[in-house]
Amino acid sequence: MKKKKQEKELVGVKEIARRANVSIATVDRVLHNRVGVSPKTKAKIDAIIEELNYKPNILARRLASKEILRFAVLIPSVSEETDYWDAPLEGIKQAESEIATYGIEIDKYFFDQNDKKSFLNESKKILDKRYHGILLAPMFIEESIDFVKECLKVKIPCVFINSDLPDISSLCYIGPNLYHAGALAAHLCGYLIGRKEKILIVNISKEIDNHHHLLRKEQGFKEYFDNHQKMNDILKLDIRDTSYKAVSKELKKTFAANKIDLVFVTNSRVSSVAKFFEEQKVENTKLIGFDFLKENIEYLKKETIDFLICQKPIEQGYRGIMALYQHFVYNADVEKIYYMPIDIITKENYQFYRN
């Protein structure tokens, strides 16, 4: 059976060579994107390949080469405050199971998203091992930029998921448009509160100033109100201790000093605010946050959370690995920016949603 497949593959190459009036070796150079073929001849061969709808046996070629492609994944670990990163990891594992037979190995590295030192330690391990490609969630801006620059020096392409690094070269970015995600949250406010009611933006993170994804959402949110000349008073609360005790304490002080009509939480830790609402019996205050997580859904079902904004993290992880696979195995062009849809989840539709 294997011999017949190899013969079929060779017949395809022979037919392309015959039609193009070139050697099989020349066709092989084009298929493998090697040098030594004139642009005119390459264009002629490419046209014949397209006409015949010829698809080389990638599996046979990969097995014959005996080369192992090694990818590294560098993403945050699941924490006590949120299990968000379970979702991208699930997508990564799905992709891994599909491409493992092609001689591809994937090593996974995890860092504490509240501790930049852990990011530096894990990124150093990756640089020491010289992988072919890297899937990265760039949580810490400056540290991520330095890491990617080191990768580029040794020609290791990076795929970004969840948040991008502006003006830094990458193979591609797969994730939400963070600015528009924030603007969408602001737009939703118009359906929940009046034009002059008070809004509180809540950032919950130990490394707020370094977390690009939070800052871009906040920017999109605020500029929506500026651009639409809304009269709402917008307050901001940065909570750098992510424990529930600390979150509750900071919220209690803010609510004691202000009448808050809506709270916008810029990340998946919206469940901490929802828990505070229930414990303190906060009523008539609307709540918007991010991510399709079990604890968030429980509060959504009870209508403590009004809207969740979700951006398909499982698919981000899956597409990130497949982008590296397409680039190295098929030598195919990869879409530079692939924005995830920005989905609005409510009590009425959560049970039909897939991450």
Q: Where are the domains of the chain?
A: 2-56, 65-176+313-340, 178-310
Fold of 178-310: Rossmann fold (3.40.50)
- The pLDDT, as a whole number, for residue 80 is 72
- The pLDDT, as a whole number, for residue 3 is 44
- The pLDDT, as a whole number, for residue 174 is 97
65-176+313-340 and 178-310 have identical folds: yes
First to last CA, the chain: 40
Residue ranges in the chain whose pLDDT is less than 50: 1-10
> Whole-angstrom Cα distance, residue 79 to residue 207?
14
pTM of the model: 0.81
- The pLDDT, as a whole number, for residue 100 is 87
Question: In the beta sheet, which residues pair with residue 71?
Answer: 106, 133
- The pLDDT, as a whole number, for residue 1 is 44
Q: Using an 8 Å Cβ cutoff, are 135 and 73 in contact? A: yes
In CATH, what is the architecture of 65-176+313-340? 3-Layer(aba) Sandwich (3.40)
For domain 2-56, give the CATH number: 1.10.260.40
- The pLDDT, as a whole number, for residue 5 is 46
